[in-house]
Amino acid sequence: MLPILAVVAGLTTLLAVWAIGSRVANSSRGLQSSMFPELSTMANAVQAIELLHDEQRIRLERGSDGVWVLASRDNYPAAVDRVRDLLGGLTNLQQDQALTTKPERHQELNLAWPDPEHRARIVRLFTSAEGAPLEVIIGQERMTPRSTYVRRLPEAQVWRCRGGVNFDIEAGQWMRRDLLSLPSTEFLGATWLGMSVTPRPMSQEPPTQRSPEMFQTTSDGSTPWSAAQMAASRSVLGEWPARLEFSDVRAAHKDFVPSADRTISFHVKGALLVMEGQHEGDTTWFRLRVEPKTGGSPPTKEHEIGDPWIPDWNQFAKSVAGWEFQLPAWREAQLTRLRTDKPEPEAPPRPDMKGRTPQPLSSTVQPAPN
C-alpha cells in the first residue's frame, strides 16, 4: 500500500510542478510580447511623425518620393537614420510587466497627459491624414537592464518594456547638420575682408590632419589686421571647409542682405564656395553659393558623419540652393574674435597641476612625481 501511495504522491507533485511551469511559461510569453505588434507591418506605411514635449513640437513627413523631411523646418531633408532608429526602437519594445493604471502614478513615471510638470514625451505616428494616429507616451528609462515605462493613449495601463526609444524634441537632431567635411588636399584657399589664407608649398604629401603651420596668410592692406589676427586666421579659415556645419535651417528669405564681415570665399579643387552671411542679433545666418568648376577631384562616398568626403559639386549646389543656415555658436565666436582682435581666453589653472610645469599637447606623457 505504501509504495502505491508514494507513486501517487510523486505523480501529484509532478503534475503540480508541470501546471505551475505551464502558467509561468504562458505568463512569460504574454508579458514578453511586442508592445506595439502593429508596427511590424505598419512601419513602412507611416506617413508622418509628431514629437511633443512641453511646448516643443517636431513634425516629420514622408514625401511622395519616400524621402523624409522636417515639416517644422520648411521641409528640409531629415536624417533618415534618426527616423529609422525611432521606428525601430518603438517596434522592438517588449512588454515586461503590467504596472499601474492609477492616474496619480502616471505623473511619477513621466507618463501623465496633460502634463503639468512638462516631463512627458509623446510620439504620434500617422499612416494617413484622416485616420487616428498611434499615440504613445514615453516615460522614465532604466539602464540595467535597459527598460522604458510606456503608456499607449488613451489607455490608462502603464507597461514596463524591455528596450528603449532614443529621440530629442529638437529640430537640429533630426537633420544632417554637417554640410561638408572635405579632405585637406582639396583646400586651395580662403579670402575674407582682404585677408587670404592659402596652403604652404610642401615638398611631400600633406598630412590628413590640418594644423596652422600648413597655411600662410597675406593681406591686401584694405583692413589693418594685427599679427595675432593673421596668425589666428590660419587655424580658423584654413580648416573651415573640413567641418562646414550649421545649427539651424530655414527657407531663403527675399529680404536677406549679406554683409562683408560675414562673407567668406573658399576655393577648393572642384568649386568656389561663397558663404554669404547676414548678422542677426547674436548669430549669423548664411547662404552657401556654390560655383562648380571642371578639373576637380572625383566624388567619393560619404561614410560616417565627420569622415572626409568629396561631393558631386553640381548635386551639392542644388542641395543647398534655397536655404539659409545658422552659423554654430563656436564658429560665430571664432569670427568675432578675428574681427575684434579679442585674445583667446586662457583656461583656468587645474588644481592638480599646482607646482607642476604644463606639458605641450604633443609631448610624451610623463609619470606623475611621487
Q: For position 29, what pLDDT does the model report?
A: 42
**Nearest C-alpha neighbor of 126 from the set 48, 200, 190:** 48
What does the CA dihedral 170, 172, 174, 176 come to, rounded to 10 degrees?
Answer: -170
pLDDT in tens, 92-135: 999 999 999 998 899 999 999 988 888 899 999 999 888 899 99
- Whole-number mean pLDDT of the chain? 83
pTM of the full structure: 0.76
Three-state DSSP state, 321: coil
Q: For position 348, what pLDDT does the model report?
A: 57
What does the CA dihedral 195, 201, 204, 210 come to, rounded to 10 degrees?
Answer: -10
pLDDT in tens, 54-94: 888 999 999 888 899 999 899 999 998 999 999 999 999 99
pLDDT band, very low/low/confident/very high, at 168 (cuts 50, 70, 90): confident
Q: For position 7, what pLDDT does the model report?
A: 41
pLDDT at 17 over 50: no
State the Cα–Cα distance between residues 140 and 153, nearest whole angstrom.
16
pLDDT in tens, 19-44: 434 443 443 444 568 999 988 888 78
State the Cα–Cα distance between residues 168 and 251, nearest whole angstrom.
22
Q: Mean per-residue pLDDT for 188-193? A: 94
Q: Who has greater pLDDT, 155 or 343?
A: 155
pLDDT at 18 over 80: no
pLDDT band, very low/low/confident/very high, at 315 (cuts 50, 70, 90): very high
pLDDT in tens, 214-262: 899 999 988 888 888 888 899 899 889 889 999 999 999 888 999 999 9
Residues in the chain: 370
Q: Mean per-residue pLDDT for 315-344? A: 87
Q: For position 121, what pLDDT does the model report?
A: 93
Among residues of the chain, what percentage have pLDDT more than 90? 53
Q: For position 64, what pLDDT does the model report?
A: 81
Ranges of H-type helices in the chain = 2-31, 39-42, 80-91, 103-108, 227-236, 313-320, 329-340
Q: For position 354, what pLDDT does the model report?
A: 54
Q: Mean per-residue pLDDT for 301-309? A: 80
Cell numbers given for 343: 585674445
State the Cα–Cα distance between residues 163 and 43, nearest whole angstrom.
18
